[in-house]
């Protein structure tokens, strides 16, 4: 394996931190981003980037190009979660969710792709979710942002194929990271007499599944395999085997069966 220059967003914690460290340990030159200033994490060079701010991204790209002359791999990992009923989600909450999870990916790709096209090679790994394959109750706009990444990535893979740029999707299930504690909870939904009780039950299940989920090292190892592969799969699901199997079955199970199973699992009566 030869050393590659890798840029990974959201590298200060969770998936991003473990992945960045593992890639650096394998000898790659790794730049990680975070919204707030932080020191380097081991051999990972940390830089401040707000993925919703194109000027912030441009400064980071300029720094990497000036130091390394290229960016071989972009891993779009930065993301947030907002929990609540779709009906009661505020406009600001929707914009915050979509701007970070979806438009953040779009912004990063637009800034990095010119250099990859010039080099006629590159790899973009977009972190989606099993929630980007199956809509999750009370995580609707999170799912919407990940569904958007799925469609965007499918189209992007076709457009950049002539330049030998590969696009890959990674769809994690539940993992035990700081994502659970950092989720923004809709107070309006909790207080609502119709949605509140159902939301509280579903949220308890969601958080329990996350806290009992796989260790982030499992996902980091999966991403490292994609990085090292010359012909990686376009779509990779990873996580608890039941979730992965259920997501794979969606394409042939009747919609009524999928909906029934989700209502049963999340106690939506």
Strand ranges of the sheet holding 45-48, from the earlier edge strand across to the other edge: 45-48, 29-34, 5-8, 73-76, 122-127, 165-172, 235-238
Helix (H) / strand (E) containing 75: strand 73-76
Would you call 118 a catalytic residue per the annotation?
no
Give the CATH number for residue 240: 3.40.50.720
Q: Which is the catalytic residue, given 31, 138, 142, 195? A: 142
Whether 129 is catalytic is no
151, 209 contact by CB (below 8 A): no
Identify the domain containing residue 42 by its residue range.
5-265
Q: Which residues contact 186 (CB under 8 A, 6 or more apart)?
A: 82, 83, 84, 85, 88, 89, 93, 199
Is it the case that residue 209 has pLDDT exceeding 60? yes
Partnered with residue 75 across adjacent β-strands are 8, 125
pLDDT at 2: 74
Q: Do the Cβ atoms of 202 and 137 come closer than 8 Å?
A: yes
Query: Do you know the residue count of the chain?
Result: 269
DSSP assignment, residue 236? E
85 in Cβ contact with 199 (< 8 Å):
yes
Clarify whether 152 is annotated catalytic.
Answer: no
What does pLDDT average to over the chain? 95
Q: What number is the average pLDDT over the span 143-150?
A: 98
Of 79, 83, 62, which is closest to residue 71 (Cα–Cα)?
Answer: 62
Report how far residue 205's alpha carbon sits from residue 192's, in angstroms, rounded to the nearest whole number. 19
Tell me the pLDDT tens digit for each residue of 44-73.
999 999 999 999 999 999 999 999 999 999
pLDDT of residue 266: 95
Higher pLDDT, 225 or 269: 225
Active site residue 142: yes
DSSP for 12-70 reads: SSHHHHHHHHHHHHTT-EEEEEESS----BTTBEEEE--TT-HHHHHHHHHHHHHHHS-
Residue 254 has what pLDDT? 95
pLDDT, residue 180, reads 80
> What pLDDT is recorded for position 111?
97
- Say how many C-beta atoms besides its own lie within 10 A of residue 73's C-beta: 23
Domain count, the chain: 1
Distance, CA of 203 to CA of 199 (rounded, Å): 6
Which residue in 123, 146, 166, 237 is the catalytic one? 146
Angle at which helices 216-228 and 14-25 cross, to 10° = 50
**Distance separating alpha carbons of residues 166 and 124, to the nearest angstrom:** 6
What mean pLDDT is predicted for residues 145-163? 98
pLDDT digits 0-9 by tens, 82-92? 999 999 999 99
pLDDT(178) > 90: no
pLDDT digits (tens, 9 = 90+) for 115-132: 999 999 999 999 999 999
Mean pLDDT of 190-201: 96
With beta carbons less than 8 A apart as the criterion, state whether 28 and 3 touch. yes
Across the range 157-174, mean pLDDT stands at 98
pLDDT above 70 as % of the chain: 100
* Ramachandran quadrant class, 135 (left: phi over 0; alpha: psi -120 to 50; beta: rest): beta
Is residue 245 pLDDT above 90, yes or no? yes
Across residues 27-48, what is the average pLDDT? 92
- Under a CB-based contact definition with an 8 Å cutoff, are residues 78 and 51 in contact? yes
Question: Three-class SS string for 139-162?
Answer: CHHHHHHHHHHHHHHHHHHHHHHH
pLDDT at 235 over 90: yes
Whether pLDDT at 1 is above 80: no
pTM of the full predicted structure? 0.95
């Amino acid at each position: 394996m030869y050393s590659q220059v890798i840029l990974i967003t959201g590298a200060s914690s969770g998936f991003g931190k473990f992945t960045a460290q593992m890639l650096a340990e394998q000898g790659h030159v790794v730049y990680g981003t975070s919204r707030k200033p932080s020191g380097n994490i081991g051999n990972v060079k940390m830089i401040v980037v707000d993925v919703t701010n194109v000027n912030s991204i441009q400064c980071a790209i300029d720094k990497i190009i000036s130091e390394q002359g290229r960016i071989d791999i972009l891993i779009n990992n930065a993301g947030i979660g907002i929990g609540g009923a779709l009906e009661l989600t505020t406009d600001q909450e929707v914009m915050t969710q979509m701007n970070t999870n979806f438009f953040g990916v779009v912004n990063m790709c637009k800034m990095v792709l010119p250099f990859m096209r010039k080099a006629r090679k590159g790899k973009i790994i977009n972190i989606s979710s099993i929630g980007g394959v199956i809509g999750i109750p009370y995580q609707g706009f999170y799912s919407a942002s990940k569904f958007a990444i799925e469609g965007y990535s499918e189209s992007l893979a076709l457009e950049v194929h002539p330049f030998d740029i590969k696009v890959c999707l990674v769809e994690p299930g539940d993992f035990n990271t700081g994502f659970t504690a950092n989720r923004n909870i809709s107070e309006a939904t909790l207080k609502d007499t119709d949605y509140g009780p159902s939301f509280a039950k579903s949220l308890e299940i969601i958080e329990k599944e996350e806290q009992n989920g796989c260790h982030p090292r499992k996902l980091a190892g999966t991403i490292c395999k994609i990085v090292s592969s010359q012909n990686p799969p376009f779509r990779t699901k990873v996580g608890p085997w039941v979730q992965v199997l259920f997501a794979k079955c969606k394409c042939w199970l009747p919609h009524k069966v999928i909906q029934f199973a989700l209502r049963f699992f999340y106690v939506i009566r």
